[in-house]
Amino acid sequence: MNEIVLASANKKKIAELHELLEGFKVLSLKDIGFEQEIEEPFFTFHENAFQKANTIHQFCGKNVLADDSGICVSALGDKPGVLSARYAGEGANDQSNLDKVLQELEGQSNRRAYYKAVLCLIWKGEAHYFEGECHGTLIENPIGDNGFGYDPIFVPDGYSQTFAQLPATVKQQISHRAQAMQQLVAFVQQSL
């Protein structure tokens, strides 16, 4: 069975990716003994995803999958973008980031946003990229307990519920990460 190391410490993101990587032996950073913090100093999803994947690949020599993703809000000039996980500053958490976006959107009629995911897969020593986007609208009051990040305020186009309300099975079909993962799985299956 092919092994892939997930270059993430985010437990909810790992769980989501793990479900999408059916048929692979998925290893965590803990499984390979990697305990350092990986810096994400860049301003693009591609560069940050590569930084994470390459750091782990250099450490263990295995196939590695890294994800850099975030939400881009039209009225905020596509912010928070790559800063989504730390938008409210150092020590930010999901709630403080979400609160900051809602505060900045107060009084705005344009509440369009999209989630973007860039996956970097280092497969047999070479980097490959896969992207996905999911467009929708941000509501004013968070609803739902599933998901993470900005999911409680993001309603994807064509749905009336937030990502935090939708069943995981639906999110795994329509999300930005699911779209990128479908491309990745197709690529890996072709290269076996």
3-state secondary structure of 12: helix
Report the pLDDT value the prediction gives residue 168, as an integer from 0 to 100.
Answer: 86
CATH of domain 3-191: 3.90.950.10
DSSP secondary structure string for all residues of 30-83: HHHT--SPPP---SSHHHHHHHHHHHHHHHH-S-EEEEEEEEEEGGGTTEEGGG
Other beta carbons within 10 angstroms of residue 192's beta carbon come to 5
Report the pLDDT value the prediction gives residue 67, as an integer from 0 to 100.
Answer: 92
| pLDDT confidence bin for 156, thresholds 50/70/90 | very high
Q: What is the pLDDT of residues 89-130, one digit of tens each?
A: 988 999 999 999 999 999 999 999 999 999 999 999 999 999
The least confident of 78-87, 108-117, 131-140, 177-186 is: 177-186
**What CA–CA distance (Å, rounded) separates 133 from 118?**
9
Mean pLDDT for 165-181 is 92
**What CA–CA distance (Å, rounded) separates 82 from 179?**
18
Q: Is the pLDDT of residue 147 over 90?
A: no
Q: Is the pLDDT of residue 84 over 90?
A: yes
81 CB contacts (<8 Å, ≥6 apart)?
Answer: 45, 70, 71, 72, 116
Report the pLDDT value the prediction gives residue 1, as an integer from 0 to 100.
Answer: 66
Nearest CA to 123 among 32, 181, 184, 47? 184
Domain borders along the chain are 3-191
| pLDDT confidence bin for 153, thresholds 50/70/90 | very high
SS3 content of the chain, % helix, strand, coil (to 5): 40, 25, 35
Give 171 or 112, the one with higher predicted confidence. Answer: 112
H or E element, residue 119: strand 112-123
* Size of the chain, expressed as the number of residues it contains: 192
Give 174 or 172, the one with higher predicted confidence. Answer: 174
Q: Are 142 and 152 in contact (CB under 8 A)?
A: yes
Mean pLDDT for 65-94 is 95
Report the pLDDT value the prediction gives residue 172, as an integer from 0 to 100.
Answer: 85
Catalytic site residue from 68, 99, 145, 157: 68
- Per the annotation, the verdict on 68 as an active-site residue is yes
Q: What is the pLDDT of residues 15-55, one digit of tens each?
A: 777 777 777 888 989 999 999 989 888 999 999 999 999 99
Report the pLDDT value the prediction gives residue 13, as an integer from 0 to 100.
Answer: 73
Give 24 or 70, the one with higher predicted confidence. Answer: 70
